Amino acid sequence: MKHLKKYKDIVLFLWKYGDRKAIQESGMMVGVDVKESEHKALKFDKSNFIKDIQDLGPTFIKLGQLLSTRPDLLSAEYIELLSQLQDDLDHFPYEEVEEIVKDELGVRISKAYAEFDKKPLAAASLGQVHKAKLRDGREVVVKIQRPGIRKRVVEELEILEEVSSFLEKNTDLGKRFDVNKLFLNFKGTLLRELDYHKEAQHMNQLHENLKGFESIVIATSIDDYSSSRVLTMEFIKGQNITKISPLRKLEIDGEKICEDLFEAYLQQIVVDGFMHADPHPGNVYLTEDNKVALLDLGMVAHISNELRQNYLKLILHISEGRTSNAIELLAQISRKGPEADEERFRMLISDLIQENQNASVDEIDTGKVMFGLITAAGQCDFHMPLELSLVGKALLNLDLVAHTLAPGFNPNKAIRKNAMSLMNKIMYKELKPQHFFSALLEGKELLEKMPERLNKIIGNVADNNIKVKVDAFDERQMMKGFQKVANRITVGLILAALVIGSALMMNVQTDFTLFGYPGIAIVSFLLATTGAIALAIHIFFYDES
C-alpha cells in the first residue's frame, strides 16, 4: 500500500476515537506498530478530536463536515463534535497569491485589479478570500485556491479509497453502511469543489433560480477574472448574522426574512432540485438594505426528480401530522439493511412526528426533526438517501439562522402556507416548452406509427390470427402430482414394513432356509430391496418426462 505514514495516521485516529475491538478484528492494525511514547497520546480525548482531524489534512476536514450530516452512521456525540469542525486555517503568503493569479489569469495582480488587499478576509482548507476592486470601480471578492492543494487532495482521496475498500470487504459495518458508495459521493463532491468554474456556475444558477425573492441576495461571478483556481465575484456589503446587535434586529422584519428564506430553500429542494447545501450562520450575511445574502457555493446538492416529489410529500405529511403517511413514505425511500426492524422503525418515527407537531422554531428545530428521522431510521437499519441527509443538515443550519433573526418563526406554518405556491411552480416547470416539445415528439411518433399498427391488428383479427395466451392454474395437473406423492409414500411404507418384518423373522426357527437364514425373511428382504431400487430408478429417470 502506498502512503504508509498517512495510512498509519488514519488507523491510529480510528483506534483513538473508534471501536478498538472492531478495528483489531478487522485486521487494520496489522503492520501498524504503536510505540510506547504513542500510547498516552492515543487515549480518547474529546478536546483534541477537532485538532486531530485538522492534522490529518484538508480532505479529512471536508469528510468530517460531510459525516456531520449522517446521524444514521455516527452517534449523537460525534455528530455534535463534527458540527463544531470549522474550515478555518492559516493563510498562505501573498507572494504565492500573486503567482497563482498570474498563472491563471495571464496578467499580474496590479494589471488585473485596481486594488487588491494583501491581507485575506478569510482562509480555509482549500483556499482564501481577498477583497479587491476592478478597474471599472466595482468592488469584488477574489477566492484563490491554495498552492498544491489539488495534488494533496487527490493523494488523500487515494488513501481513503483504499481504506473504504478495506472496510467494506472486511467489516460488517463497512458492508452495512455501503462505505464505498459513501466515499464515491464524497470524492465527486470534493473534486467539484476544487474546480472554481463549477462554483461560478453554481452561483449564477442559484442567482437565477432565486431572483424572485426580494429578501435574498446571491452574488454572481465575474467570468473574465475567473478560472479553475481563481474566482472573482461581486462583493456584498453586510454583516454576519451572528454579529448583528440587538438594536439592529429591531430594525429588520425577521419573520418576513425567515419566511422568504424557508420558501427559497423549499423551492431549491422540491422545485429546482439544486440546493445551496451549507447555509450555516457563517455563510449568511445581513446586507445594509436588510436582505439576506447566501455565500460560498462550493458545496451544493443535486436532488433527483423522484426524491424531490417524495420530500415535498414528506414535509407536508409531517407539518400536517399525517403520521402513517410519513412512515410509509420514509420506508419506501429507505434502503433496508439485513437487520431492519420495521416495527421499531414505525414506533420511533411515529413518536418523533407526534412530539413535534405544531411547534414554533423556539420550541423545535425543523432540521433536528429531519435529523431525528434519519437517526431513528439508522437505529432500525433503514438508511435514507445521502441527499436527504444534506437537506436535513441545511435545514438544521436554517434553524440557527431563524433563531437569530426571528425566534418565534413557525416553519410548519410557512410550509403549509407555501405548499400551493410550490405546487404551482412544479407544474409550471413541468409545462415548460422543452418538456412540451419532448412530449409532442413522442406523440408525433405515436401518430405516425398508429395506422400501420392498426392495420396489422385489424388484419390479424380478420384472419383469425389473434391468440390470447393465458397461463392459468391447472388443477388436474396438481391432483396428478398429489396422487404421485401419495403413491410414493404408500410404496415406501410397504417397503419399510417388509424390511422390518424380515428383520424380525430372522429369529424364527424354520426348516426352510436360504444362505443359512430363514427363507421367508430372506425373500421379504430381497423383495424390499428390489422395490426400493425400482422406486429410485423411477424417481431419477422418469419424473422429468
Q: Going residue by residue through the chain (545 aa), what tens digit of pLDDT does each one get?
A: 557 788 888 888 887 887 777 777 777 776 666 654 455 556 667 778 888 898 898 999 989 888 888 887 888 888 888 887 776 678 999 999 999 999 999 999 999 999 999 999 989 889 999 999 999 999 999 999 999 999 999 999 999 998 888 888 887 777 777 888 889 888 998 999 999 999 999 999 999 999 989 899 999 999 999 999 999 999 999 998 888 888 888 888 888 898 899 889 988 988 889 999 888 888 899 999 999 999 988 788 888 888 888 887 887 787 777 888 889 999 999 888 888 899 999 999 888 887 766 555 445 556 677 878 888 888 898 888 888 888 888 888 888 888 888 888 877 677 667 666 766 676 666 555 555 555 555 655 666 676 777 677 777 777 777 665 655 555 566 666 667 777 777 777 776 777 777 777 776 777 777 776 777 777 777 887 887 787 777 776 665 54
- pLDDT value, residue 208: 94
Sign of CA dihedral 310, 399, 85, 19: negative
**30 and 77 part of one domain:** yes
| φ/ψ (deg, to 5) at 73 | -105, -35
Please give the tally of structural domains in the chain: 4
User: What range defines the domain where residue 98 resides?
Assistant: 90-157+179-235
**120 and 44 part of one domain:** no
Q: Could you tell me if residue 469 is inside a domain?
A: no
**297 and 376 part of one domain:** yes
Helix residue ranges, H only, 268-322: 305-319
- pLDDT value, residue 113: 96
**390 and 302 part of one domain:** yes
**100 and 163 part of one domain:** no
Here the CATH number for the domain that contains residue 153 is 3.30.200
- Out of 414, 431, 448, a domain closes at 431
**203 and 288 part of one domain:** no
Neighbouring residues of 141: CB distance < 8 A, sequence distance ≥ 6: 121, 129, 130, 131, 132, 219, 232, 233, 234, 235
Do 279 and 393 form a contact (C-beta atoms < 8 A)?
no
Buried b (16+ CB within 10 A) or exposed e, 389-402: bbbbbbbbbbbbbb
Amino acid at site 144: I
Q: Could you tell me if residue 421 is inside a domain?
A: yes
Distances (CA, A) of 65 to 84, 86, 238, 265: 9, 8, 26, 20
Do 230 and 100 form a contact (C-beta atoms < 8 A)?
yes
Q: Could you tell me if residue 466 is inside a domain?
A: no
Residue 269 burial class via C-beta count within 10 angstroms: exposed 0-12, middle 13-18, buried 19 and up: buried
Q: Could you tell me if residue 457 is inside a domain?
A: no
- Out of 431, 449, 464, a domain closes at 431
Q: How far apart are CA 19 and CA 7, in angstroms?
A: 17
Sign of CA dihedral 191, 192, 197, 199: negative
**275 and 422 part of one domain:** yes
Distances (CA, A) of 199 to 113, 126, 185: 21, 13, 17
- pLDDT value, residue 344: 92
Q: Could you tell me if residue 499 is inside a domain?
A: yes
**137 and 230 part of one domain:** yes
Q: How far apart are CA 98 and CA 96, in angstroms?
A: 5
**123 and 272 part of one domain:** no
**364 and 397 part of one domain:** yes
Q: Could you tell me if residue 458 is inside a domain?
A: no
- pLDDT value, residue 394: 86
**311 and 396 part of one domain:** yes
Neighbouring residues of 233: CB distance < 8 A, sequence distance ≥ 6: 140, 141, 143, 200, 203, 219, 220, 221, 222, 226
- pLDDT value, residue 361: 45
Q: How far apart are CA 392 and CA 372, in angstroms?
A: 9
- pLDDT value, residue 251: 86
**251 and 356 part of one domain:** yes
Do 100 and 146 form a contact (C-beta atoms < 8 A)?
no
Q: Could you tell me if residue 464 is inside a domain?
A: no
Which triple of cell numbers denotes residue 348? 420511533
Q: How far does CA 186 lie from the centroid of its chain? A: 10
Q: Could you tell me if residue 194 is inside a domain?
A: yes
